[in-house]
Homo-oligomer: A and B are copies of this chain.
Amino acid sequence: MSEKEISIGLFGFGCVGQGLYDVLNQSQSLKANIEKICVKDSSKKRKIAMSYFTYEREDILRRNNLDVIVELIDDAAEAFKIVSAALNNGLNVVSANKKMLAENFEELYRLQIKNNAALIYEGSAGGSIPIIRNLEEYYDNELLSSFRGILNGTCNYILSRMELESKGYQEILSDAQSNGFAESNPWLDVAAYDTLYKTILLTVHSFGVVLKPEMVLNLGIQNITFDDIVYAREKGLRIKLLGMGYKSNGGFHVYVMPHFVEKTDELYNVIYEYNGVEVEGAFSCKQTFVGKGAGSHPTGSAVLSDISALTYNYKYAYKKLKKRINGSDQIAGGHLLDNDFSIRVYIRFKDKAELKGIEIISIEEEYRSSHTNYIVARVNLRSLFMLKGNKESKVFVCAMESIRES
């Protein structure tokens, strides 16, 4: 609990970086100072004095007066280089880069142990919701059985506006892009890659299981139509893109998919850019956390909280992971992931040929009309991998139950 001023080396000065700068300036109790900011574009006008900026990574990494490196850039490969180098220099790091973290988790875990340096990343999942630290700390001694969450503000914003304004996907997406709620290339958000990365991080901190992004199914909302919204509305349901993880028969089911949720569901009223996460433990029962999932200041405040935590030597204990690997080097947990199970889904399609490859176990309902068709069926989850990141397919899949089944 030192009272000295903390020196920060910052990478990136985009939305979250600037949010951090604002939050830091108005913080009452944390004495922290951004020493230097590394950005890539030297021609860009900046809101603060140019003397803050450098364009060379090493200019920050080689300084020996820094207490913490804060990595807030977009490029995951470059971010990984920065974070690894910083950890190897024995520096503590705060990051909000879920893609970089999810893709390189095993290596990043090893680097933390090897260098006895901390890497913390509350801003990487759930925006302002303190979900990672809560999973890590509070559910430490709990028989945690499941998590499920709305983890992507852009998708939730689009889904909410489609439903509440009765509009189509393209119209709302374009509007979201023009007002800053969606990227000009929205693929990582709408195809559920962003949710996938966050789900992988929650799986580590919920169960101590480290998975690779390619192992886990992610189906997005890129093919949703207003017909799907109408289907949900008629049944009093809402469509939410959920990342899920739960225990099943000694293994784990982890996947990302749109889900119909009921009015009484705690996540039903989590709308627009809000995120919500529900965790369930054997003793604490269901707990729900709701907060702004994106944006400059909410994420900036999560990053600031991490910086603050480093001042009292906080690091993730990774107790569940350590317990699972039990001193061995077998960090990868892919063998614990079970993708071979049946799940009840709604599938909307134009032509039955589009369903080729999906292993349908039984069909409960079938609807045909001149412009669209759907089935409600029980399918094998693994067979849905053919739709993962598939830019050609126009099929929309939505799980029928947000409560888990196995």
Contact = CB atoms under 8 A, between A and B. Distances in A.
Interface of A: 1, 19, 22-23, 26-30, 128-130, 133-134, 137-143, 264, 266, 268-269, 281-292, 297-298, 300-302, 304-305, 308-309, 312, 317, 319-320, 323
Contacts of A128: 281, 283-285, 287
B269 A284 contact: no
Contacts of A282: 26, 297
A286 B292 contact: yes
B302 A141 contact: no
Given A23-B283, A29-B140, 7 more contacts: A28-B141, A29-B320, A128-B287, A130-B137, A266-B269, A266-B290, A287-B289
A227 to B, nearest CB: 26
A308 B307 CA distance: 23
Chain A facing B: main interface SS: mixed
A138 B305 contact: yes
Nearest to A288: B290
A282 B24 CA distance: 12
B291 A286 contact: yes
B269 A141 contact: no
A290 B291 contact: no
B285 A291 contact: yes
Contacts of A290: 266, 286-290
Contacts of A319: 29
A198 B272 CA distance: 32
Contacts of A139: 305
13 contacts: A27-B143, A29-B320, A30-B140, A128-B283, A128-B284, A134-B134, A141-B308, A281-B301, A282-B297, A284-B301, A285-B297, A286-B290, A290-B290
B283 A297 contact: yes
Contacts of A288: 288-291
Given A141-B27, A143-B28, A284 B292 contact: yes
